[in-house]
Structure 1
Amino acid sequence: MDYEQFLVVAAKEHGLGTGNLHFVHLFPSPEGVAGACTSPKTRGRVAAKFLAANRRQTRNQIRGPHSALTDFLASNNISAAQIHEDYQRRLREAETQANAEQQGDAEPEHAADNDEYEDDAGERPDERRKRKRKEAATLAKIKQSKEFARRKARRIGEPDDDDDFIAREMMRERSRPLPGQLENCEICSKRFTVTPYSKTGPNGGLLCAKCSKELADKEKKSEPKKRGPRTSRRQNQSDLLDGIVQDGALSLVEMCTKKVADNINDIEEFGDLPWQLLRRLSQILSKRRALTPRTLNLFLRPNLDFIDIYDSGKLETDDFQKIFTFMPALTHVNLRFAGQLKDRVIDYILDRNLKIKHLQLDAANLVSDTRWRQVFQKLGSQLETLRLSNLDFSLDDDTVEVMSRSCLGLRRLKLAHCWKMSDRSLQAISSLQSLEQLSLQLISETKTENLLELVSSLGSGLRTLSLQGFPLADDRLLEVIHDNCKVLSKLRFSDNSHCTDRGFVKLFENWSNPPLEFADFSSTRDVDNSNPDGPTDAIGLASNGFNALMRHSGSMIRKLRIASCRHISYATFEEVFGQGKSYPHLRELDVSFHTVMDDYLVGRIFRCCPAIQKVVAFACFNVRDARVPKGVALIGGLRAQDPILVQI
């Protein structure tokens, strides 16, 4: 019996007409029904009847005990009916979406991108518009923040530098769960409690503690080890060997050049760097073994006429061919450690008719004698400089003879460590009357007569003469140099054990040649270790020869190397660098393996040579605590590893 039927029955029992109840639906309570009656007595009976019926209905209901879950849901206003209704609604939406996909009514790709952040696909249009307005306002506010500006500045030039992409990424980060809330791990999907230290995964989600640790370990292994500042003892000693003594900060040009070299793998092009800096960069990268096929591309400029690669050890055959392809105007070629330079590269050079005038190749052992002869025959008329070194497979006597007949305009010739050259090669070179600079360092022994003929024939026009590895040459060679060489500025004669000190004295006394600027007489000494003081007639450059050298060339000499000339006495050094003596142009001096050298003599050298920049004193065990002037590199000595003292 519903409420309205009950009122009708109650009215009939009390003799009331049903017409008085036409507005009973307006009164949902017993008091309202009773108030609708006309007399007070009737109102009382109706109300009492209604309350009694209500009590009977309540007593008939069976109520079970309340569980803890029921109390919790009731206290938090959670309705089971509402949960069931939401579940049914989601089922209907999923079914509707599946039907729409089957009918091809899915949204286009750009629409899906725009709705990427929509959480409720079943929201009403007005709710969706309101949410989009709030989202647009949030994005606009984020774009005005400083964090947005910093993040955009870091991503300039990257694929993800779009403003909207960065702003939405920041909005996602701000909408992450707060500490204390539950979240699923992005990697393992495990449920965990978010903390302030929860890490972000690769796709922007949060990670649990275990996955965070694994990701951190993986990143730590992949990160390169950080190197300390390049001002270590090893770097300082390396600079000293190069004759570099730095006072204060580097120059701006040197700092920028080294910074470019440090980040060479991140550089796409050099731009309009001057050629001096290009050569300096090539030197630095070669020293670091960092010249690779990729970094080589930075040096290839079609408008340049030179290429200087001081370490080609990491280049392949195609890289050498690329050099001559991209630089057709080459006239100066300097490629060292060119182990992968092969015959087909030489063929390519010859086919392109390059105007090469200065050619320097080192360790090009894969080039055959046939190709060398073709090079000399095709390019010989235009070659002015030829420097070949470390060739143990090619360049035999026949090839040198072809070179001498074809390269009649050569002015500079250097052949060092060429294993197949012998006396015939010396005879062939004697015909090159245009030579101004000659440097020879042979492996096989040759006859002294052929060497004398060579110097006699070419000596009058030579400005540079360098002879290394001729151990059998005697005093006759020094006499020929004295009689025929009149314009030398550089003389090197080293690694000899037959010329005497008397022969060196005759060379420098009354010599009409101008003072030498470069002199190298290293390792000219007697090699009998059983007699360290040497024979009575001293072998090699000894005390008298050194005195004669300094009297002749001391006023103009710039570089002097007398390492291992062990028969020069302490008294001679004291006399040469004595009080009142001055050598204003001497900048480099090598006195290694002179056991008589000590702190006093080194100090005298510093006083007599105001322009000195580098003193090499390896195996000079008495050089211990020499006070080194500012800007001078002292290399060697017993305490070379200690900090260099600077005289104030």
Structure 2
Amino acid sequence: MSRARNNNVRGPTSALTEFLRASGITPTTVARRAATQQGQQQQAAAGPSNDDSQQQQDQAVSSSVSGRPSRAASRRGASRRESGYGSDNLDEDDEENREEEKDENGAEEEEAVEEPERNSPAPAKKRKLTKAAEAKLKAQEKKKAKGKGKKGSGDEYEDDDDPYTSLSKSMWSNGSKPPVGDFENCAKCEKQFTVTKYTMAANPGPGWLCHVCAKASGKDPFKKPAAPRKRKAPGDKREVVHFVENRLPTLVNLCIKVVTQHIDDVESLGDIGTLNVEAIAKAMAKNRSLTTENAKLFYNTTNSKLVLYDATNLPSSAFESLVYLNPNLTSLRLDFCGQLDDPAFKVFTTSLPALERIELLGPFLVRSPAWKDFIKAHPNLEGFLITQSPRFDLDCLRELVSHCTGLKELRLKEFGKMSDAFLDEIADNLGGQGDSESILEYLDISSPGGESCSDAAVVNLLSAIGGSLRYLDVSKHDLLTDEFLLGGLQQHTHSLESLSIAHCPEITSKALASLFNEWENPPLVSLDASRNPELQTDALEAIMKHSGSRLENLNINGWKDVEENGLRDIGRKGKEMRKLDVGFCRNVDDFIIKAWLEGEDVKGRKKGGCTELVELKVWGCNRVTPNCPKKLGLALHGVESHIIKRT
């Protein structure tokens, strides 16, 4: 047993302990110094007649001279660790541990005193003090000398600043915290509770508080610390010119605020007029300020048409009030009506008997049974334009095309359940029968939520209703190919005015050029063929040759490979052009824009030019410089120098 105890095996120590040991600070030296100071204090308090104190002091001095701590000092160190001072003695030497065990057993006490020190580590070199530390130490010794014999002197507190004898953190917090999961009694309400990591110490101590008493004291134990603010990394400052911060409210905002505050007295203004009411509705939509209170401005029992461009803030009950206060509506448009649900839509079914056209954007909450009841109650519908309705299924469409056979406008945009079966139902029920032709003029089946419809289904649909169509939108049906163009549009449509084939990547430039070169359809007014990067110059030249004399809106955004000659054709033949989007066409530059705005010189005379152009978008055209020509009344968007402010 003695050999096992006298070995020099040590456990792992912390980095702080190793640093202090290298600096000459060990538990032995700390205990020695504490014993010396305590002996001096006891001698000063009891006087020279106290033999025990004198004996303890002599022992402390002799132990400091010999380099070994006395047994009394060892006992005091052990009692200090038991009372909460152990945070300063994390790693003690095996020699001292052996002495403590021998003191407790009472059998090996003398053996520990006479044991040679060959197994103990060599004493560390004493740390050299700085001049400031030496001056401070001398001043403290002078004060101690003056205060000898004075009981209760205030100079006794000078020793509290000493880092080796100061109280550990555990003493300031009423002792070490009990382990998580233990039971403790609350210091305030004396009820037993389970200790968690959120348990807080009582103030004043001692003891610990339960969660209820901790909250009652004004401190929330569950409060999370505030996250530190992240500093923004320095970078290039970019300023978008088109969006300017309004420091002062505009006149429109002030008018809307006044009207909202005095909505009950708005009738005293008299007849505002239909145009003014629509202008106010658009202005309120920009600020999203339409509420249940100010929506009454647009209600009237004589209204036959109602348009709300942003109904985001209207709850379900507000839609019911809308119907009750406008019972004679024949046309209703509600944008962003996401809070319209089945109970409110049931009021639409029962209280709008004259409704002929309905246009809704975002009726997500209306379910299939509510749609069916509404369709059955309005067989005279001529316009059914719905965008983003995930619950409108094939059964609802069957009810629609079977009951509302007089439909002229049909929009099923961004429908998640769109499929070829939808198109077959429309073709079978709304197509021409016998010698009679279909009356459907407007069809929008763009942006299907699932898979794209096939060529066969679209061609079959056009063969049934294509003769009467004036507007067709099949954007984002990415499975449509050249068969849709040549076998569907070219063969079955003869009165189309607006066509949208955006994001149909399977369509080739050759097929599109062939369509416009041989198409018997009148010139188009609007064409959107954007997001088709494979389309090239031959297709653009065919488009301008066929429809340039009447074309007002043209979008070829993404035609990256179109050549300069094809772009100049827009200015030569597009005399009626009003809105033009040529974003990401690489060959657009200042000279082409000049030819569009001013025309081209032909034998000293200006010819051509888009004289009616009011909007031009050149996003991604990096050859357009700040010196590009401009025109009064033209809105030019996308010039990089207008977007990025260089510093």
Taking structure 1 as the reference length, the TM-score comes to: 0.56
Provide the residue aligned with 2:90 in structure 1. Answer: none
Q: SS in structure 2 opposite 1:639? A: helix
Provide the residue aligned with 1:508 in structure 2. Answer: 516
The unaligned stretches of length 5 or more in structure 2 are 1-238, 431-437, 599-608
Provide the residue aligned with 1:261 in structure 2. Answer: 256
The CA deviation at 1:338 is 0.8
Contact in 2 for aligned 1:622/1:638 (Cα 8 Å): no
| 2:557 corresponds to 1:556 | no
Provide the residue aligned with 1:595 in structure 2. Answer: 586
Deviation digits for residues 356-399 of structure 1 (CA, Å, limit 9, x no counterpart): 111011111111101111111111x211111101122x111121
Alpha-carbon distance change, 627 to 259 in structure 1, aligned in 2, over 3 angstroms:
farther
Contact in 2 for aligned 1:408/1:434 (Cα 8 Å): no
- Residue in structure 2 matching 1:416, options 410, 413, 417: 413
Q: SS in structure 2 opposite 1:524? A: coil
The CA deviation at 1:238 is 8.5
Alpha-carbon distance change, 322 to 234 in structure 1, aligned in 2, over 3 angstroms:
farther
Listed as ranges, the matches of 1:79-228 within 5 Å are none
Contact in 2 for aligned 1:471/1:496 (Cα 8 Å): yes
The CA deviation at 1:515 is 0.8
- Residue in structure 2 matching 1:519, options 524, 527, 531: 527
Identity fraction in percent: 24
What is the CA–CA distance in structure 1 between the aligned matches of 2:396 and 2:546, rounded to whole Å? 40
Provide the residue aligned with 1:52 in structure 2. Answer: none
| 2:622 corresponds to 1:621 | yes
For the pair shown, the structure with the greater C-alpha radius of gyration is: 1
Task: Report the AA paired with residue 624 of structure 1.
Answer: T
- Residue in structure 1 matching 2:461, options 454, 462, 473: 454
Provide the residue aligned with 1:571 in structure 2. Answer: 565
Q: SS in structure 2 opposite 1:386? A: strand
| 2:468 corresponds to 1:469 | no
The CA deviation at 1:421 is 2.0
What is the CA–CA distance in structure 2 between the aligned matches of 1:634 and 1:352, rounded to whole Å? 47
The unaligned stretches of length 5 or more in structure 1 are 1-232, 240-254, 526-538, 644-648
Task: Report the AA paired with residue 418 of structure 1.
Answer: F
What is the CA–CA distance in structure 2 between the aligned matches of 1:235 and 1:501, rounded to whole Å? 37
Aligned length: 377
What is the CA–CA distance in structure 2 between the aligned matches of 1:357 and 1:238, rounded to whole Å? 42
Task: Report the AA paired with residue 464 of structure 2.
Answer: S
What is the CA–CA distance in structure 2 between the aligned matches of 1:262 and 1:505, rounded to whole Å? 54
What is the CA–CA distance in structure 1 between the aligned matches of 2:350 and 2:244, rounded to whole Å? 43
Deviation digits for residues 407-426 of structure 1 (CA, Å, limit 9, x no counterpart): 11110111111102211111
Provide the residue aligned with 1:281 in structure 2. Answer: 280
Alpha-carbon distance change, 385 to 488 in structure 1, aligned in 2, over 3 angstroms:
same
Alpha-carbon distance change, 383 to 256 in structure 1, aligned in 2, over 3 angstroms:
farther
The CA deviation at 1:235 is 8.5
The CA deviation at 1:575 is 4.6
RMSD (CA atoms)? 2.1
- Residue in structure 2 matching 1:490, options 488, 498, 501: 498
The CA deviation at 1:352 is 2.3
What is the CA–CA distance in structure 2 between the aligned matches of 1:622 and 1:285, rounded to whole Å? 39
Provide the residue aligned with 1:385 in structure 2. Answer: 383
Contact in 1 for aligned 2:240/2:642 (Cα 8 Å): no
Provide the residue aligned with 2:611 in structure 1. Answer: 610
The CA deviation at 1:584 is 2.2
What is the CA–CA distance in structure 1 between the aligned matches of 2:256 and 2:545, rounded to whole Å? 45
Deviation digits for residues 237-291 of structure 1 (CA, Å, limit 9, x no counterpart): 589xxxxxxxxxxxxxxx9867633533334226311212211211110111111
What is the CA–CA distance in structure 2 between the aligned matches of 1:364 and 1:274, rounded to whole Å? 30
Deviation digits for residues 55-102 of structure 1 (CA, Å, limit 9, x no counterpart): xxxxxxxxxxxxxxxxxxxxxxxxxxxxxxxxxxxxxxxxxxxxxxxx
Alpha-carbon distance change, 440 to 613 in structure 1, aligned in 2, over 3 angstroms:
same
The CA deviation at 1:544 is 0.2
Q: SS in structure 1 opposite 2:388? A: strand
Alpha-carbon distance change, 452 to 325 in structure 1, aligned in 2, over 3 angstroms:
same
Provide the residue aligned with 2:400 in structure 1. Answer: 403
- Residue in structure 1 matching 2:441, options 421, 436, 440: 436
Provide the residue aligned with 1:142 in structure 2. Answer: none
What is the CA–CA distance in structure 1 between the aligned matches of 2:326 and 2:241, rounded to whole Å? 35
What is the CA–CA distance in structure 2 between the aligned matches of 1:401 and 1:303, rounded to whole Å? 34
Listed as ranges, the matches of 1:345-384 within 5 Å are 345-379=344-378, 381-384=379-382
Provide the residue aligned with 1:13 in structure 2. Answer: none
Contact in 1 for aligned 2:544/2:573 (Cα 8 Å): no
Taking structure 2 as the reference length, the TM-score comes to: 0.56
What is the CA–CA distance in structure 1 between the aligned matches of 2:501 and 2:575, rounded to whole Å? 24
What is the CA–CA distance in structure 1 between the aligned matches of 2:588 and 2:352, rounded to whole Å? 56
Alpha-carbon distance change, 507 to 583 in structure 1, aligned in 2, over 3 angstroms:
same
